[in-house]
Each structure stands twice: as structure tokens, then as C-alpha cells.
């Protein structure tokens, strides 16, 4: 089947689309399974189930496999997902790297490629993305005709109405690119349908679909301090134009020592970046003569300091590193407390890279939430690190491609 390119379909699904997702989810989770048992699991009548399942078989998504154990009479035929019936590629256009992951229909990873993201405009980003896709397709050994579509999770503010994405990183010039041009370039090069969505939203869907227990209907995925993916009553929420989830105030006044008008008001919602400003603060402390193991881990070169090196130093008891991560947890926890009051989620997933600090960052986040959020929503929420980690966006984008396949079948 040939999908129609576009933005990922976040809006509430039709009754038929919901049934497709429900039935295919049961087949994925519990297959091999008989049509009769699918009917019992879903409370749909056997005729409806049979019609849907027969369509899935015709479209190459499901295969018949053997017979169920029966106490008498005709043995019911079992069906299961044909995982090798097609493949999806999810691409994470992250702030630092571009990552591509190919999955089969069950979302099992078949291949992964990564390249550095260029710090230029969208044209340069597209060029690297095309190279990434070319390498992924070639190295995976999957026949090109079996690749269904490509999904992209992009950092920045997406505007569905104007078809643009705006990069909010001041280091890259806050450029605005055309999503239509992006899609058309990739689709024209590879002759594959292309879908685009926000990175945090893709990650939220990936975590819900692939790592959380079934039944979680309300959750937030926190992409460091950059943004959050929102799922309400099982549906992805993206707002009127696709930009819901931005956690920052739009301001040119950035940085603790900035004296521009408005900077004091913006202080607590200023953008700190995916590392919550930890690397910059570490370098500043070193310049001020504060001793730290981080510099040793960076071979004495401040320019080589990374978030991972700060985390490693904190894990062996370096005071500066521990304090900076603690303070970052309190800062992020303050924002999360407000979001918990606002959305009352069951789960908040911490991702974007900062979750690699484990309990060093999670504990101060939880402590701050208990202090600042209202008791009722705070008592119901679990705050956990991302299980998919740096694969969350790409896997989420691939999973959203599969969602498009399953709803449009």
C-alpha cells in the first residue's frame, strides 16, 4: 500500500481507524490468536473481526499460521502479524546528531545509522538526512520495495498551517525552513512517502507504544528543557497548529548575566539547552578556578567537556558535577511541577539525554515536584527516565509511520 505523505496524523481518529489500531494491537501483542479470541478481547462481533482480519491478510500485514487447540469440531485458524511484511524508517533530526532507525512491522530494530547534525540551515540538514537514509537503506540489506515510508522527528516549532519549522536554537540562527520542501526533497530522492513531526511528540509516542505498560493514557515526555510530548486519553496532543509542548518563553534575553530588558522576568523559563546548561556552567566554574574531575576526564581540555563526562564525574563523587546536576534537576523539576498541575498525567518520562544521569537527576526532580506540585496530582504521577534513551525520537517516528500504515489499511 502507498501512503500519502504529510505531517503525522495527530488528530482524533475515526471509528474505523481506531478499530484498525485496536485489532492490530491485539494481534501484535497476543498473536498467534484466533479470530474468535480477537472478538472476545475487543467485544467486536466475529463477522466484523473476520472482515478486518481478511483485509489485513490481503494487504500483507497479517498471515495465517496454524490452528488453535480445540476440544471438538473445526479447529480455528490462528493469525499473527507478518513482521517482515514491510519496514519503516524513523529519523531523529536532533540538536546534535541525526539518527535513522529501520524497523519491521513489529517495531523491532533492523538497522541504525547516525551522523552529526550540521549547525547550518535546513538545506544542510536535509543533505545529511539524505545521506543518512541512503546508508541506512544500503546497509540494512532490506529490499527497497519493502520499505513503506520514512518518518522524521524534528526539533523546533512546527506550524502545520504555514508548513514551516522554526529552529529555536540561537547558536544556529533561529532559522525557519519549509516542511514541504523538506518532504518533497526526501520523497523525490527516495520515492518514498515522508511524514514529519515534532521530536518530543515522536519520543512520547515511542515511549508509550514501546516501553510503557498498556493502559497508560495520560503521559508527558520531557525533552530536557527544550519541549515536551503530550498524550491525553491515549491521543497525541499537538495543539491548533502542531507546536504544543514548547516549554520555553520566546525571548532574546538568554543567560544568567544578561541585562537586556525582560531578562529578569524570563529567568526561570529561559532556554538552557538539551544539557540544561550543565556543560556551560562546568566550563565557567573551571575558568573561575574551581577544581573538578571533569577536566581530568576531558584530558585537560575544557573544549572537550560533554554532559556525559560531567555525569561520569558526578557518579564518582565529584562535588561540582553533583551540584550542577542537582541544581539542574531542581530547575527542571520546577517546570515539571507546573505541567503536572496542568495535565495531571499518570507518567512523566525524562529524556533528551539528561536521563543518563539516572537518580542523580531524577531524585531532585521528584523531590521538587513533591514540594511544588499540588498533592493530588503529585501523588498519582510516576517520574521515570526514558527507557528508549537516545533512540526515543527515531523509534517514535518509525512507530508513527507504522501507525499511519495500520490506520490507513
Q: What pLDDT digit, counting tens, does each position of 397-409 carry?
A: 999 999 999 998 8
When pLDDT is averaged across residues 370-392 and rounded to a whole number, the result is 97
CA distances from 3 to 19, 40, 81, 126, 154 (A): 19, 31, 19, 21, 20
When mean pLDDT is compared across 163-172, 227-236, 304-313, the lowest value belongs to 163-172
C-alpha cell at 294: 571533569
Residue 120, pLDDT score: 72
How many other CB atoms are there within 10 angstroms of residue 213's CB atom? 7
Confidence of residue 180 (pLDDT cuts 50, 70, 90): confident
Bridge partners of residue 230, in order along the sequence? 220, 237
Confidence of residue 96 (pLDDT cuts 50, 70, 90): confident
Of 82, 227, 74, 233, nearest to 154 (Cα)? 227
Q: Which residue has the cell 539516572?
A: 358
Spatial distance between the Cα atoms of 259 and 280, rounded to a whole number of angstroms: 19
Is the pLDDT at 225 greater than 50, yes or no?
A: yes
Spatial distance between the Cα atoms of 340 and 245, rounded to a whole number of angstroms: 13
C-alpha cell at 346: 499518570
Spatial distance between the Cα atoms of 312 and 211, rounded to a whole number of angstroms: 26
Confidence of residue 1 (pLDDT cuts 50, 70, 90): low
C-alpha cell at 394: 527515531
C-alpha cell at 25: 494491537
CA diameter of the chain? 83
Of 113, 56, 61, nearest to 84 (Cα)? 61
Average pLDDT taken over every residue of the chain: 88
Question: Which three-class secondary structure state does DSSP give residue 218?
Answer: coil
More confident residue, 120 or 257: 120
Of 404, 337, 406, nearest to 368 (Cα)? 337
Contact 302, 335 (CB under 8 A): no
Task: Please name each of the domains of the chain with its CATH number.
Answer: 6-84 (1.10.10.10), 86-209+392-408 (3.30.420.40), 214-386 (3.30.420.40)
Is the pLDDT at 251 greater than 60, yes or no?
A: no
Residue 73, pLDDT score: 59
Residue 342 neighbours by CB under 8 Å, 6+ apart: none
Q: State pTM to two decimals.
A: 0.90
Amino acid at each position: 500500500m502507498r501512503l500519502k505523505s504529510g505531517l503525522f496524523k495527530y488528530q482524533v481518529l475515526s471509528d474505523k481507524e481506531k478499530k484498525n489500531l485496536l485489532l492490530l494491537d491485539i494481534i501484535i501483542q497476543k498473536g498467534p490468536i484466533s479470530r474468535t479470541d480477537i472478538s472476545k478481547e475487543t467485544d467486536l462481533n466475529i463477522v466484523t473481526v473476520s472482515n478486518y482480519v481478511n483485509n489485513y491478510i490481503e494487504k500483507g500485514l497479517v498471515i495465517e499460521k496454524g490452528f488453535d487447540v480445540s476440544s471438538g469440531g473445526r479447529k480455528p485458524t490462528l493469525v499473527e502479524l507478518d513482521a517482515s511484511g514491510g519496514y519503516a524508517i524513523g529519523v531523529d533530526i536532533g540538536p546534535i546528531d541525526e539518527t535513522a532507525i529501520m524497523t519491521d512491522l513489529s517495531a523491532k530494530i533492523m538497522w541504525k545509522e547516525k551522523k552529526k547534525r550540521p549547525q547550518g540551515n535546513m538545506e544542510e540538514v536535509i543533505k545529511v538526512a539524505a545521506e543518512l537514509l541512503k546508508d541506512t537503506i544500503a546497509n540494512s540489506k532490506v529490499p527497497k520495495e519493502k520499505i513503506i515510508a520514512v518518518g522524521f522527528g524534528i526539533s523546533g516549532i512546527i506550524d502545520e498551517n504555514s508548513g514551516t519549522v522554526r529552529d529555536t536554537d540561537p547558536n544556529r540562527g533561529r532559522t525557519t525552513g519549509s516542511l514541504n520542501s523538506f518532504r518533497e526533497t526526501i520523497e523525490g530522492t527516495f520515492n518514498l512517502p515522508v511524514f514529519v513531526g515534532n521530536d518530543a511528540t515522536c519520543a512520547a509516542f515511542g515511549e508509550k507504544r514501546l516501553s510503557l505498560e498498556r493502559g497508560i493514557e495520560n503521559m508527558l515526555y520531557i525533552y530536557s528543557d527544550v519541549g515536551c510530548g503530550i498524550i491525553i486519553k491515549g491521543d497525541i496532543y499537538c495543539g491548533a497548529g502542531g507546536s504544543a509542548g514548547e516549554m520555553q518563553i520566546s525571548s532574546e534575553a538568554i543567560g544568567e548575566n544578561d541585562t537586556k530588558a525582560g531578562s529578569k522576568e524570563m529567568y526561570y523559563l529561559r532556554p538552557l539547552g538539551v544539557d540544561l546548561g550543565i556543560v556551560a556552567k562546568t566550563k565557567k566554574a573551571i575558568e573561575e578556578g574551581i577544581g573538578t574531575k571533569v577536566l581530568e576526564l576531558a584530558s585537560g581540555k575544557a573544549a572537550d567537556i560533554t554532559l556525559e563526562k560531567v555525569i561520569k564525574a558526578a557518579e564518582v563523587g565529584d562535588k561540582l558535577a553533583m551540584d550542577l546536576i542537582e541544581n539542574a534537576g531542581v530547575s527542571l523539576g520546577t517546570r515539571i511541577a507546573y505541567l503536572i498541575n496542568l495535565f495531571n498525567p499518570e507518567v512523566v518520562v525524562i529524556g533528551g539525554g539528561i536521563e543518563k544521569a539516572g537518580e542523580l537527576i531524577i531524585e531532585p526532580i521528584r523531590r521538587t515536584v513533591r514540594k511544588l506540585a499540588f498533592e493530588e496530582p503529585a501523588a498519582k504521577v510516576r517520574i521515570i527516565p526514558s527507557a528508549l534513551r537516545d533512540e526515543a525520537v527515531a523509534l517514535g517516528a518509525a512507530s508513527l509511520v507504522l501507525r499511519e500504515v495500520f490506520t490507513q489499511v
